[in-house]
Structure 1
Amino acid sequence: MTTADRERRRISARVRILLWLLLVMAVALASVAATTRSILLRDTDQRINNLLAQEAGEFANFEEQGFDPETGRRFTEPDRLLRVFLQRQYADLDEELIGLVGAPGTAPTQLIQQRDIPVALPLHKDADARRRVFDSPHPTGTLHRPEGEIRWAKVNVARYGGETAAAFVVAFHPGREQARADQVFRVLLAISGVALLMTTGIAWVVAGRILKPVRLVRATAAQLTEQDLTRRIPVHGNDDVAALAETFNAMLDRLERAFAAQREFVDDAGHELRTPITIVRGHLELMGDDPAEREETVRLVTDELDRMSRIVEDLLLLAKAERPDFVRPGPVQLAELTADVYVKARALGDRDWVLAEVADGEALLDAQRITQAMVQLAQNAVQHTVPGQRVGIGSRLRQGHVELYVADSGTGVQPQDAGVIFERFRRGTARRGARGSGAGLGLSIVKAIAEGHGGRVRLHDTDGGGATFTLTLGNPGTPGHPGTLATPGTLEEAHP
């Protein structure tokens, strides 16, 4: 599948947000409509049950306490009781009040009806339904018929002389009430559909405005190249999307600086390597048959090849400085480490070497890398001093940090050079007494080693003249961090 095919099949964030919003709203609105219908039906059932219970209770009370208005005495005939009661009642529109009279154990033979009601098949016209209600042993029930549901309640009339059986029946047809609830449900669904359509339009516009910076980020990222990292995203407001744009712009700033540094590094490295190659080629092309000339040419070529080898090794070392395992710290005795550096530095040149001070304690350091950095600083001091000048090496504990330093008594570093000498392939103005010139990577390696220990390298003037380079290592109060003190001790001074 090509990139273009994937682009065509990809659903945009705007559409996904809209679809999820519509899905959530549709579920919510459908739930509201269904809940409303359920509540209406429950209220309808409750009202019907109350009505049935009320009518049945009124008849039972009338049967117990009522008198025949013609005789002024208690009722003796069930049909007379039912007729008098029904004449005094006012039923609801969907309610039937009827009396059923029949012989014991037979279907009702006499029907006493209050009035007709506007339903497809009322109970008083449905003989089968009347029989089922009359024969039912239960006081209430529900009839499910094709013509419509009937909710009923029944009160059996006390038998008079044991010759007849009668019952008062109140029946309710809930069809219209249920239809009303269904109508409300359909209206709510229609309103929900309109609301969803309106929400679709509004959400589409709002999502587009919210995601506009995100689209700008995508468009900007698509237009970025290694040669053009100058585009930035305009930031509006102070919300999360604006924060995303600011973060992306900051990332672009870092990328632009990184690419610029990379290009500069490649240019400088190419220049530094091109020079010895040119020298080697020129001498080889001009080399004659004279043995002395050939010997001198071989010596010069070998020297330039050694310099190229050192440049490559330094570049590889700086590349390793980006790896997390560049520094492998372990417990190191500071006094022993300082003494070892001092002994190795003395072999670099004829100088007045001084072991200025020694810190007595233990710290988490990579002894090999620290030694490499200190020897490099000592070599730098040798290159910028003359025989007999003083070069001091020492270590100390200060405010929870470990400090190791190399102080020379040369002419120092020019102010304009102090900010650049730690950059790759940058060399300061030659100081008096400097002998030879490197590729400008030594102090960059020192800086990388210091930063690998969570510290830094500082430059300041030596009292009486010269330059002092100090490695400040570690983060106070961070156990286990490279450079952190393990067992701080006291400071001592020693001299050769």
Structure 2
Amino acid sequence: MTEPAQAARQGSRVTARWRIVAWLMLALVIAMTALIVTVRSAMIAEVGRNLNADVVQENQEFRTFAGEGRNPETARPFTDVSSMFEVMLRRQRAAEGEMLVGYVPARQQALTVEGVRTPSLAEAGLEPGSSEFGRLLTGPRSGIVETRGGDARFVRDEVTLGGERGVFLVLAFERHHLQEVDSTVRLMVGVAAGALLLAAAIAWLAAGQILRPVRSVRRAAAEITERDLTRRIPVQGNDDIAELAVTFNGMLDRLEAAFAAEQRFVDDAAHELRTPITIIRGHLETMSDDPAERAATTTLVLNELSRMSRIVSDLLALAKAERPDFIHLAEPVDMAELTLDIDAKMQALGPRRWTLAEVADGPAVVDAQRVTQAVLQLAQNAVEHTGDGDLIELASRFVRDPELGDAVAITVRDDGPGVAAEDAELIFDRFARGAGQSASGARSRAGAGLGLAIVRAIAEGTAAR
């Protein structure tokens, strides 16, 4: 690899397949992390709402019970707070993580009912007489308190019966509920990790499937040489990658056509120029000092050089015919003016009976220079196969072609020997000559066999545009 090519290859060496998988995994990780965080926050908020509802409900039940003021077992009114707390709490069942406390300050007596996974007052650091318990009795009537057993939501209510004051507390501890949330989140993380692994495997396979045509393009590009441009990439589907393969194949078609045209030009030039070069070299090597012989040799060499120049010009014209800009179609051309201009130029080719049979009257979108080149080449060919005074007729007309639609037909007709049926297609190939004869009866060999090939290239290029 050359230094410029090496310098151009900078940046990450990670393959496109891995980059696709990495970006997809990054997007999934971000999405799943956001989902898990959102779900966890929602679950914690739901725990708070449920605990608040639970403590409020328990307090409402206490208010209802205390408001009735009768022992449901004896139907008699309660006479003291302690007995009311005993009956009420005996009939209650605390929820998980919940504690119901009936406290009589005058007796320093605390009756409790605890649900499962609920710390006791001692485990929570709320023993009667402690400062923490005292704050519950004198502070806000509801809120969240920090204990050794974790945060707890509470509601406090008071009742006075028989001159005795009682305090009713409802405590709902968050710890075990938050543990369940964390357990659910861990499960979600595990499921997400498994899903990420599965997604990574699917992404790896999908990226490989998507990038397979790209790898085919790379392999095809690596196998292409200046002598073998026949490799093509199979096209499957109609997606962007398939379009890439189609575009790459189109580029290879153009490269193959360009290299073929270049090789054809080189082969044609080598084939056609070998003979005049050999003739010139042979005459120059054997040329003597005789003035007459030197003059004859000089004339012959100049003729051969002129023929070589014409061959090169014709070969260049045919090489340009492979390019898309060979035919220039711009503004419409007045066909009457173009026909008259071509007729004037044709009459300088030789002493023939030039006739203008028909003139197309109207505009047409054609390349005037290429059309003139093609018609003059036909006229030159007619001159070579006719004699002095013979008829050469030019005509142009508008026609309706079944394939091309509206078109312009330009014809050159002469009184020469014509073309044999078997040579009708052959004469338009490069370096091909028909079996026709000139006016003197000898087979015409003046040209290199490129003139009619140029005419054909111009006609086909014009029709394609």
Tell me which interval the TM-score lies in, with the shorter structure as reference length: 0.7 to 0.9
Q: Structure 1 residues 341 and 164, CA, compared in 2 at 3 Å: closer, same or farther?
A: farther
1:437 aligns with 2:446: yes
Pairwise CA distance, 1:149:
1.6
Q: Distance in 1 between matches of 2:80 and 2:419?
A: 132
CA contact (8 A) 2:276 2:304 kept: yes
2:407 paired residue number? 402
> What one-letter code is carried by the residue in structure 1 that aligns with 2:376?
V
Q: Deviations over 1:54-104 (max 9, x none)?
A: 21221222233342459856667555544443232110131011235559x
Residue 432 (structure 2) aligns with? 427
Q: Which of 6, 11, 16 in structure 1 is aligned with 2:14?
A: 11
| Paired residue secondary structure (1:330) | coil
Find the counterpart in structure 2 of residue 49 from structure 1.
52
What is the CA–CA distance in structure 2 between the aligned matches of 1:18 and 1:315, rounded to whole Å?
54
The residue type equivalent to 1:90 in the other structure is R
Per-residue Cα deviation, 1:106-151 (whole angstroms, up to 9, x for no partner): xx966443348643843743844434443444x5422345652212
CA shift at 1:393, angstroms? 2.5
| Counterpart secondary structure, 2:153 | strand
Alignment partner, residue 394 of structure 2: 392
- Partner in structure 1 of residue 384 of structure 2: 383
Please give the residue correspondences for 1:103-114 in structure 2 after superposition, counting only pairs within 5 Å: 111-114=110-113
In structure 2, the CA distance between the partners of 1:129 and 1:369, relative to structure 1 (3 Å rule), is: farther
Change (3 A) 1:445 1:133: farther
- Measure how far apart 1:266 and its partner are: 0.9
Contact 1:98-1:112 within 8 A present in 2 as well: yes
TM-aligned CA distance change 1:316 to 1:256, over 3 Å: closer
Counterparts of 1:218 and 1:370, CA distance in 2:
44
How high is the TM-score relative to the length of structure 2? 0.78
Contact kept, 8 Å, 2:224 with 2:231, in 1: the verdict is: yes
Equivalents in 2 of 1:196, 1:70: separation in Å? Answer: 61
- Aligned letter for 2:359? V
Task: Render the CA deviation track for 1:195-234: whole Å, top value 9, x for unaligned.
Answer: 444554565456556655543442232122122345556x
1:427 counterpart letter in structure 2: A
Q: Structure 1 residues 369 and 206 mapped into 2: Cα distance closer, same or farther (>3 Å)?
A: closer
For the 8 Å contact 2:85–2:111, the answer to whether it is kept is yes
- Residue 260 of structure 1 deviates from its aligned partner by 3.7
Alignment of 1:358 onto 2:359 = yes
State whether residues 336 and 361 of structure 2, in contact with CA within 8 Å, keep that contact through their aligned partners in structure 1. Answer: yes
Q: CA-to-partner distance for each residue in 1:156-178, whole Å, 9 max, x for gaps?
A: 335669x8765432111121121
8 Å CA contact 1:94, 1:174 repeated in 2: yes
Give the AA of the match of 2:222: A
Q: Deviations over 1:362-408 (max 9, x none)?
A: 23334333323322232233234444134332131436533131232
Task: Judge conservation of contact 1:123–1:129 (CA < 8 Å) in 2.
Answer: yes
Moved more, 200-209 or 278-287: 200-209
The number of residue pairs the alignment matches comes to 447
Give the whole-Å Cα distance in 1 for the aligned partners of 2:329 and 2:242. 41
- Native 8 Å contact 2:265 2:315 kept in 1: no
Give, in whole Å, the separation in 1 of the partners of 2:235 and 2:454. Answer: 42
The CA distance in 2 between the partners of 1:264 and 1:247, in whole Å, is: 25
* Cα deviation 1:272-314 (Å, max 9, x = unaligned): 2333333332332233223222222222222222233333334
Structure 1 residue 223 corresponds to structure 2 residue 223:
yes
**In 1: Cα distance, 2:459 partner to 2:166 partner:** 109
Matched-pair contact (CA < 8 Å) for 1:123–1:171: no
Residue 125 to residue 262, structure 1, CA distance change in 2 (3 Å) = farther
Superposition TM-score, scaled by structure 1 size: 0.74
Kept in 2, the 8 Å contact 1:18–1:207? The answer is yes
Choose 145-154 or 338-347, whichever is displaced more.
145-154
Q: Report if the CA contact (8 A) 1:354-1:391 is conserved.
A: yes
Q: Does the C-alpha gap of structure 1 residues 337 and 170 become closer, same or farther in structure 2, counting only changes over 3 Å?
A: same
Worse-matched range after superposition: 315-324 or 426-435: 315-324
Work out whether residues 86 and 114 of structure 1, in 8 Å CA contact, stay in contact via their aligned partners in 2: yes
**Corresponding position of 1:148:** 150
Q: Does 1:85 align with 2:88?
A: yes
- The answer as to whether partners of 1:99 and 1:166 remain within 8 angstroms in 2 is yes
The residue aligned with 1:300 is: 300
1:153–1:438 distance in 2 versus 1, CA, 3 Å: farther
**Secondary structure at the residue paired with 1:114?**
strand
Report percent identity of matched pairs. 43
SS of corresponding position for 2:102: strand
Number of the residue aligned with 1:367 = 368
Amino acid at match of 1:377: L
Q: Answer yes or no: is the 8 Å Cα contact 1:102–1:110 preserved in 2.
A: yes
Contact 1:150 1:172 in 2 (8 A): yes
Partner Cα distance (1:8, 1:295) in 2? 71
Q: Distance in 1 between matches of 2:223 and 2:446?
A: 43
The answer to which of 34-43 and 400-409 deviates more is 34-43
Contact 1:342 1:393 in 2 (8 A): no
1-structure distance, mates of 2:397, 2:215: 55
Q: In 2 relative to 1, CA 365–251 (structure 1 residues): closer, same or farther, beyond 3 Å? A: closer
Counterpart of 1:276 in structure 2 is 276
Partners of 1:93 and 1:360 in 2: CA distance: 105
Kept in 2, the 8 Å contact 1:78–1:157? The answer is: no
